[in-house]
C-alpha cells in the first residue's frame, strides 16, 4: 500500500473530525441557508454537471441500459437533486432534539438528546445524485461526510462536489466539512475502513460484492443493505386491476433500483384470471419471466424458474413468478427468499393485510402500493443516505434521524450517590 495514499486519506479523516465538532454547534438557520444556497448552485451549474456526466457516460459505452440509466443525469434529475436539498432544509433539525425527559427519585433531571454521529463515510457506486443527497442529509444532521463514489461516475461526482463545497467554504465553514475521495484506486477504500480513530460510521451503497467487501474489511461500524429482493403478493381477494398497475409499476418503472419488484407471488385461486393478462403486459415491455411450473403452464413462452432465481436481485427487466397456495405460503416464501427490504400485498381483505404487515419481516411492508415508494424522498424525508436492511440502529430509508445518535444530559443540585 502506498504510504502517500494512506497519509492523504488519514489527513482527510482528521480534518473531517475537526470540522464535525464545529458543525455540531452550527444553528439550524445557518445550516438551512447553506442548503438553500447549495440547491441554487446546482441549478445554476446544470450545464457544467451535464457536461461532466456526458464524459462518464461516454466512458461506459457497452454497459447495459439499466446501468446507464443509474449513471445518467438530466435537467430534471438535477432539479430533483436541488429540490431534495430544499426539502431537507425545510425539515426539522434533529440535532439537539430532546427525545425524552424525566426525573428520578434522587432528584436528577435527565434528558435523552439527539446528537450528530460525527464523521460518516459513504462508499457508493454509479448514481451521481447520491453525492448531493448524502451531502445534504449529513450536513443538516451536523455530520461531516467523506464520500467515495465509483470510478464510473467520477467526473459527475467531482463536478457536483466542487459546486457544493464552494458554497460550504463560502459560508465560512471549515475545510473538511464535506469531502470527496477522488482517487480511483481500490486501496483507498481499504484505507478508509481502517480509520476508526476518526470515522464513526460507514455506509456502503452498491452491489453485494461491494457491501461484502466493506463489511469484511471495516474496523468501523457499518450500516448496510444487501440485496433488494422485493416482492408483490397478489392475494385471492385482490382487486386485479389494482394489482396489475402496482406490479407493472414495481417492476418496470425503474428496474435497476433496489426497491423494484424482483419476484411476483400470486394466489392459486386468481392465477388463471390474473397471470395471462399481466404476463402479456410484461412481455410487451420486454420483461423476461422466469416462473414456476404452473406459471409456465399458463404462459408457455415463459422460462422455468430455478431455486436461484427466487434468491436473485436482477436489477433488470427480469422477473421471477410463483403461484402460491395461501397467504401463509406467500409470507413463508418472502421471509425465506427475500432480503428484508420491501414487500407488498395487494388485497381487499383487512384481515389478510394486517397478517401480512405483522408477519413479513422486512424493513418496509406495504398494503396496496408499489414497493417503489421505499425512498427517503417519497417518505417525506427529503432524501436518503441509503435503505438499511439491518435491524440496528437504523432500518429502512435512512435520513436525518438515522444520522444521529443520542446522549444523556443530567441536571443535579449537588446529589452524591450513597
b/e map 48-72, b = 16+ CB within 10 Å:
ebbebbeebbeebeeeeebbbebbb
- 86 and 36 Cβ atoms separated by less than 8 Å: yes
Confidence of residue 358 (pLDDT cuts 50, 70, 90): very high
- Alpha helices, DSSP H, located in 299-364: 327-337, 350-359
Cell representation of residue 361 = 419481516
pLDDT-based confidence at residue 220 (cuts at 50, 70, 90): very high
Mean pLDDT of 55-81: 92
In terms of pTM, does the model score above 0.85? Answer: yes
- Mean pLDDT of the chain, nearest integer: 95
202 close to 123: Cβ distance less than 8 angstroms: yes
Closest CA to 135 of 104, 160, 159: 160
Residue 149: other Cβ atoms inside 10 A: 28
Domain with CATH 3.40.309.10 in the chain: 230-373
Flag whether pLDDT at 80 surpasses 70.
Answer: yes
Lookup: cell for 82: 436541488
Q: Where in the chain is the domain with CATH 3.40.605.10?
A: 3-224+390-411
Residue 203 in contact with residue 222, Cβ under 8 Å?
Answer: yes
Give me the mean pLDDT over the 310-327 stretch: 97
| Residues 68 and 257: beta-carbon distance below 8 Å | no
The pLDDT of residue 362 is above 70: yes
C-alpha grid cell, residue 55: 464524459
What is the DSSP-derived secondary structure letter of residue 316?
Answer: S
For 20-53, what is each residue's pLDDT tens digit?
999 999 999 999 999 999 999 999 999 999 999 9
Q: Which CATH superfamily is domain 3-224+390-411 in?
A: Aldehyde Dehydrogenase; Chain A, domain 1 (3.40.605.10)
Q: Which three cell numbers stand for residue 358?
A: 405483522
CA-angle at 245, arms to 242 and 251, nearest 5° = 135
**Which residues are within 8 A (CB) of 58 and not within 5 positions of it... i.e. 6 or more apart?**
none
Bridge partner residues of 101 (DSSP)? 111
What are 406's three cell numbers? 443520542
CATH homologous superfamily of 230-373 equals Aldehyde Dehydrogenase; Chain A, domain 2 (3.40.309.10)
- Here the cell at position 156 is 459527475
pLDDT value for 143: 98
What proportion of the chain, given as a percentage, has pLDDT over 90? 89
**Per-residue pLDDT for 1 more than 60?**
no
Q: pLDDT per residue over 140-196, tens digit each?
A: 999 999 999 999 999 999 999 999 999 999 999 999 999 999 998 889 999 999 999
**Does the pLDDT at position 98 exceed 60?**
yes
Q: Name the grid cell of 52.
A: 461532466
State yes or no: pLDDT of 406 exceeds 90.
yes
Please state the rounded mean pLDDT for residues 305-317. 96
Tens digit of each residue's pLDDT (9 = 90 or more) over 237-266: 999 999 999 999 999 999 989 999 999 999
Amino acid at each position: 500500500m502506498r504510504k502517500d495514499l494512506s497519509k492523504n486519506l488519514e489527513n482527510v479523516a482528521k480534518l473531517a473530525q475537526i470540522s464535525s465538532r464545529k458543525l455540531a454547534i452550527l444553528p439550524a438557520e445557518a445550516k438551512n441557508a447553506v442548503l438553500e444556497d447549495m440547491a441554487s448552485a446546482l441549478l445554476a451549474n446544470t450545464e457544467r454537471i451535464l457536461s461532466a456526466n456526458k464524459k462518464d457516460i461516454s466512458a461506459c459505452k457497452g454497459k447495459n441500459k439499466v446501468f446507464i440509466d443509474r449513471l445518467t443525469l438530466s435537467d430534471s434529475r438535477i432539479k430533483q437533486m436541488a429540490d431534495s436539498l430544499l426539502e431537507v432544509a425545510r425539515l426539522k433539525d434533529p440535532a439537539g432534539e430532546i427525545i425524552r425527559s424525566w426525573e428520578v427519585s434522587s432528584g436528577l433531571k435527565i434528558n435523552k438528546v439527539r446528537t450528530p454521529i460525527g464523521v460518516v463515510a459513504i462508499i457508493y457506486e454509479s448514481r451521481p445524485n447520491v453525492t448531493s443527497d448524502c451531502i445534504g442529509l449529513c450536513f443538516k444532521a451536523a455530520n461531516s461526510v467523506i464520500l467515495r463514489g465509483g470510478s464510473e461516475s467520477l467526473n459527475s461526482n467531482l463536478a457536483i462536489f466542487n459546486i457544493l463545497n464552494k458554497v460550504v467554504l463560502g459560508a465560512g465553514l471549515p475545510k473538511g466539512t464535506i469531502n470527496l475521495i477522488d482517487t480511483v484506486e481500490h486501496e483507498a477504500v481499504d484505507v478508509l475502513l481502517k480509520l476508526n480513530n476518526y470515522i464513526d460510521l460507514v455506509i456502503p451503497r452498491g452491489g453485494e460484492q461491494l457491501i461484502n467487501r466493506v463489511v469484511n474489511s471495516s474496523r468501523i461500524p457499518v450500516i448496510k443493505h444487501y440485496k433488494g429482493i422485493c416482492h408483490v403478493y397478489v392475494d385471492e381477494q385482490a382487486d386485479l386491476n389494482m394489482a396489475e398497475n402496482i406490479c407493472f409499476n414495481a417492476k418496470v418503472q425503474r428496474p435497476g433500483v433496489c426497491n423494484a419488484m424482483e419476484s411476483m407471488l400470486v394466489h392459486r385461486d386468481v392465477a388463471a384470471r390474473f397471470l395471462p393478462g399481466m404476463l402479456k403486459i410484461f412481455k410487451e415491455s420486454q420483461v423476461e419471466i422466469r416462473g414456476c411450473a404452473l406459471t409456465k403452464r399458463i404462459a408457455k413462452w415463459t422460462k422455468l424458474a430455478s431455486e436461484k432465481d427466487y434468491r436473485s436481485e436482477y436489477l433488470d427487466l427480469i422477473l421471477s413468478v410463483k403461484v402460491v397456495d395461501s397467504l401463509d405460503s406467500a409470507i413463508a416464501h418472502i421471509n425465506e427468499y427475500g432480503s428484508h427490504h420491501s414487500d407488498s400485498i395487494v388485497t381487499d381483505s383487512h384481515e389478510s393485510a394486517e397478517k401480512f404487515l405483522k408477519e413479513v419481516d422486512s424493513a418496509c411492508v406495504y398494503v396496496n402500493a408499489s414497493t417503489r415508494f421505499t425512498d427517503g424522498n417519497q417518505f417525506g424525508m427529503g432524501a436518503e443516505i441509503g435503505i438499511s436492511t439491518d435491524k440496528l440502529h437504523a432500518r429502512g430509508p435512512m435520513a436525518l434521524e438515522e444520522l444521529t445518535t443520542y446522549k444523556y444530559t443530567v441536571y443535579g443540585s449537588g446529589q452524591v450517590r450513597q
